[in-house]
Structure 1
């Protein structure tokens, strides 16, 4: 059984944990060790600033709050990923063809996600615990329990996520069948959020004197942390273990909870997984062609294909632009708060840079799905490659919808900022142009990453991506671009006044021109060489 499970796990992990030689393994371990040390130092620096500069109490309540929050986020992310891996993955048919039991296939998928969660705990939770222990006087048992905790907490995360996958799977099926309901719910949530946000911002005093009410703000944050810890549930037992309170009893509770979740998964999630995989729905769809097929132009045919695929999965399209939908709320809040503060010339420069930074960070982060646009062809890439069409038309058909949607949201966001008096007309126009130019450049950059390193086989075998390097690179490059433009725009605004906007706009134009040139060059050189 162990050998079969090991084989199934390695098949799903693919080449991520395989190394050609011992030297490569040692080099990888050295890099990981360096990353761990850096994470610990960064975490120590953050906690030090919070404790001695911000004057925020770094206590057990603070640690419990961060621990519970990180685990709830981990459960949400793992639930979405597990739902795809268990019920929507293309590799289920392949794995079930192996000489292994159905339960072994199920638990192998959980093991793959456990490895991912353990890796996250190793580079976030353990540095957090170590930094907290170095900064706060604790006993040696704190570090021992911290090391043990990073093995237990991922187990709870994965087992809880496996159970939550069940209602999520049925809910996603409902929304897939009735996409209009999903769209209406999103709009309703957006309206409620905007109304609630506006009611809160109205209460912000004008002028807002942060120094005068600083202690009140810190006390308010502490109250929020303490009140939030009421919903920490069993993670409060984990915090008690770290601080040597009823250690044996709390460890027994966590282990018993893990065992209970394992039993629930065995009797609930495991049979459902087998039933869903065994029941094929390929003949359940009856396509009704209500109109005759009409001949389209070369670019129109490729664009029609992309729009048809998007129409079939409206929920996924909306999720791709979720950050852009959040962007207007955040920009409105930030500018409303800044508008309540009496700012100096340096303050105005800071506001200018923050607007640039936040806007570009959200705009570029929403382009991460473009970094998998080509890889999502999977096994059908052969048909796309041999299609009688020009390469640049195939490529631009994949990004035109992203360009249109993201550009529209950018314009609407800046218009709202101007309408509510958060930005002057000239500043709003300038931000729109900068956002648009950098957005186009980053979209081209993201697709270029996919052309350089396509993941066709992974998508063809599983139907989804997990920890895709192109997506990570797209987000990192976008964040770096946002930081550079934010810092440059603030510095230029402070020292060059009116000319700063023209210079920043010129830099944005240069950025998009360079990205277009490099994208075109890589597309001509590499597209024809891509093999499945």
Structure 2
């Protein structure tokens, strides 16, 4: 135990030294003011992130945890169970904050030459700040859990909200990036950046609520008044959580469990006979519709594609470029889009694995169940193609100065290569499925097929990047012709190889 404490203490000391050096660089080299506004800004960012993490964790622990069925059968009150879980979260938050707050606070104290009262205040803040973040998180978790329960019962609403959030974030990204003046000159851009970031920090610090109070208190502005506000806020959060949780917690928890019974009046339609492939394909779309969160997490990287494309190309197009520079822009786009697109195909690399024990039952059916593989691949083709098409459409609208011909030729090229990589990733799982591991754990963490899929995607990105150098620099007139031809050959080869392995090995897959 003492060794463990000594190691953690050494880590905190090392982090404190690093933060102090970073603050010194900000103040004396980058000329960004290290004052109460920066302190408040850092508190808002770090504690805001803690609140988000704690809220997600509390929703899981308070309302969806399987141990609730046991705990509520014991002779314990609802609020006792509620606050016992809150205390566990507080302890975890306290330990995590030790590695964040101590280095930041001590670093500010050293750089700003703050007095003894500052360090005395830190002792109280180390204990009070986790109460604030956990108190806010526990209160937010109640309406958030209720909202999650609602959208889980309305999958279409969940999909619409996800699309609105993505489009909204992309719109905000375009607004922010377009504030960068063109043509881009690095020195002038840096000077403007320093001024803008300083003004932004000061503006954000004004709306930090309790964290503005804490920052002002630490820098000895109206110390006693701000201290009383801090203590009152902590007590108020505890009281609000207690009063609200008593009537709400049990009812919300009981409606959040997976086995909650909800009566529905359904009109069942007679089942129409369809081909086996269509049956499996409908199953894939049904699973996707019922588990949208899992679907979005599988393709989360692909959702970032329009953001990366727009930001990087806005910077590229904002610089004064030669004809060689234009060719470099195309080459970088080939590499970056392939890295993101192929990195999103990990679901294909676990397509058979995630069937688990049910795959054994499936193979006992007197049908050609290998159609299941083509159904899964078709679903991945359709979904990734739609997402990539949306990304390129948003990119073309947000950055009209980028040549339209290059945009859509790049789109076609990425579709070919990505489709080939989907087949390759599925083939990896076809040859080495981890059915028993998934059936026993229900997790794909540390799955070697995922890492192999990512490795092949990385290889493809740099291989076709090297081909792009040859195509766009040495044979400019036929550059896109060569790239599209190579990608089409790659797709045809992967299709033939996958089909051969599927026919040869699918029936031999064992649990």
TM-score over 0.5 for the alignment? yes
Note if 1:388 corresponds to 2:363: yes
Q: Distance in 1 between matches of 2:275 and 2:183?
A: 59
Report the Cα distance in structure 2 between the residues aligned to 1:83 and 1:176, rounded to whole angstroms: 14
- Are 1:331 and 2:309 counterparts? yes
Instruction: State the 1:60 CA deviation.
Output: 2.1
Q: Deviation per CA, 1:140-162, whole angstroms, max 9, x where unpaired?
A: 55455445434322221221122
What is the Cα deviation at residue 224 of structure 1?
1.1
Write the mapping of 1:2-151 to structure 2, written as runs, cut at 5 A. Answer: 26=3, 36=12, 39-40=15-16, 43-44=19-20, 46-139=22-115, 142-143=118-119, 145-146=121-122, 148-151=124-127
User: Once the 2 structures are TM-superposed, how far is the Cα of residue 102 of structure 1 from its aligned partner?
Assistant: 2.3
Helix, strand or coil: the match of 1:211? helix
Cα 1:77–1:332 change in 2 (3 A) is same
Larger radius of gyration: 2
Contact 2:335 2:465 in 1 (8 A): no
What's the offset of the Cα at 1:233?
Answer: 0.2
Distance 2:138 2:438 in 1: 26
Instruction: Find the aligned partners of 2:301 and 2:186 in 1 and give their Cα distance.
Output: 29
The answer to whether the Cα contact below 8 Å between 2:155 and 2:292 also exists between their aligned partners in 1 is: yes
State the alpha-carbon separation in 1 of the partners of residues 116 and 351 from structure 2. Answer: 50
CA distance in structure 1 between the aligned counterparts of 2:43 and 2:283, rounded to whole angstroms: 45
Instruction: For residue 187 of structure 2, give the secondary structure of its aligned residue in structure 1.
Output: coil
Are 2:268 and 1:289 aligned?
Answer: yes
Structure 2 residue 378 is the aligned partner of structure 1 residue 406: no
Measured on the aligned residues, the alpha-carbon RMSD in Å equals 5.5
Q: What is residue 187 of structure 2 aligned with on the other side? A: 211
- The answer as to 2:398 corresponding to 1:422 is no
Return the alpha-carbon distance in structure 2 between the equivalents of residues 394 and 91 of structure 1: 36
Residue number in structure 2 paired with 1:230:
206
| Offset from partner CA, 1:373-429 (integer Å, 9 cap, x none) | 89988xxx5445554369998899778755643343234434654673436856875
How far residue 235 of structure 1 moved from its aligned partner, in angstroms, is 0.6
Distance verdict in 2 for CA 1:177–1:469, change over 3 Å: closer
For 1:184 and 1:316, locate their aligned partners in 2 and report how far apart those are by CA, in whole Å: 16
Shift of 1:277: 3.5
Matched, 1:170 2:149: no
- Superposed CA deviations along residues 63-82 of structure 1, whole A, max 9, x for unmatched, are 21121022223323332332
SS of the equivalent of 2:66 reads coil
Unpaired stretches in structure 1, ≥5 consecutive residues: 1-21, 460-464
Instruction: Work out the CA distance in 2 between the residues paired with 1:442 and 1:403.
Output: 8
- Distance in 2, matches of 1:42 and 1:450, equals 45
Q: Look up the match of 1:342.
A: 320
The residue number in structure 2 matching 1:157 is: 133
Number of residue pairs aligned between Structure 1 and Structure 2: 486
Q: Deviations over 1:73-123 (max 9, x none)?
A: 332333233223333343321332344332232223323433443344233
Shift of 1:431: 8.2
**Residues 388 and 90 of structure 1, relative CA distance in 2, 3 Å threshold:** farther
- 8 Å contact from structure 2 (residues 339, 458) kept in 1: yes
Distance 1:249 1:278, change over 3 A: same
Residues 45 and 269 (structure 1), Cα distance of their counterparts in 2 relative to 1, 3 Å cut: same
CA distance, structure 2, for counterparts of residue 33 and residue 41 of structure 1: 13
Structure 2 Cα separation of the partners of residues 119 and 40 of structure 1: 16
Residues 450 and 470 of structure 1 are in contact (CA less than 8 Å); yes or no, is this contact kept in structure 2? Answer: no
**Contact residue 55 and residue 138 of structure 2 kept, 8 A:** yes
Residue aligned with 1:422, SS: coil
Distance 1:370 1:104 in 2: 45
Aligned equivalents of 2:86, 2:350: Cα separation in 1:
25
Separation in 2 of the partners of 1:257 and 1:375? 50
